[in-house]
Amino acid sequence: MIHILGLKHQSLYSLFMRISIIVAASENNVIGRDNDIPWHLPDDLKHFRQKTEGHPIIMGRKTFESLPNGALPKRRNIVVTRDSEYKADGAEVASSLDEAIMYARKDNPSEEIFIIGGAEIYKHAMPLANYLYFTRVHAWIKGDKVFPEIGPEWEEVVSEDHPVDDKHRFACTFKTYKKRDQIHL
């Protein structure tokens, strides 16, 4: 823990960079099942696209491999894997989350970067992130991947409800959190 001007920082990353996590999770925090998202919510996909386009995105290998059309367009894709021989078409490969963040910062140190999954990457990114774009899917879903609990260090600053309709089987809420006691860029 770093203390500067009376504020607490988990790392130098969170002091000087805007690192954001973006995720959708069910009421029981499920984010995936069998390497897929267990729901289809067009509004959430649009929200994800609007937030992440034009920004670097960091993801684990399994998340990258689950993308139906490969690397996401209009974003700098960075894949974290321990496999030093791994090749990812349309993406850079990093051996750790720290290395991926370094790559994302290389060309524009003030740009927001997004962590987009999966479960292990989220777990390691939570202490580093200072913003969390969280879609709560209002359903209990069976799955094999879960998002970590959002602790008291996070403060909800925005909440926007989206009801069930003919295109959305589940209601959801878009929430934005920022980490308490930090400088926010």
Q: Is residue 185 part of a domain?
A: no
Residues 6+ apart with CB under 8 A from 30: 38, 141, 142, 143, 145, 146, 147
Domain count, the chain: 1
Is the CB of residue 29 less than 8 Å from the CB of residue 149?
yes
Sequence length of the chain is 185
Share of the chain above pLDDT 90, in %: 84
CA neighbor of 158 nearest in space, from 185, 133, 129: 133
Total-model pTM: 0.90
Q: Is residue 184 part of a domain?
A: no
Q: Is residue 124 part of a domain?
A: yes
Rounded to whole angstroms, the Cα distance separating 85 from 79 reads 12
Question: Which CATH number does the domain housing residue 64 bear?
Answer: 3.40.430.10
Q: Is residue 173 part of a domain?
A: yes
pLDDT digits (tens, 9 = 90+) for 81-126: 999 999 999 999 999 999 999 999 987 766 899 999 999 999 999 9
Residue 17: give the domain boundaries.
Answer: 2-179
Q: Is residue 98 part of a domain?
A: yes
Amino acid sitting at position 134: F
pLDDT digits (tens, 9 = 90+) for 28-79: 999 999 999 999 999 999 999 999 999 999 999 999 999 999 999 999 999 9
Rounded to whole angstroms, the Cα distance separating 176 from 133 reads 5
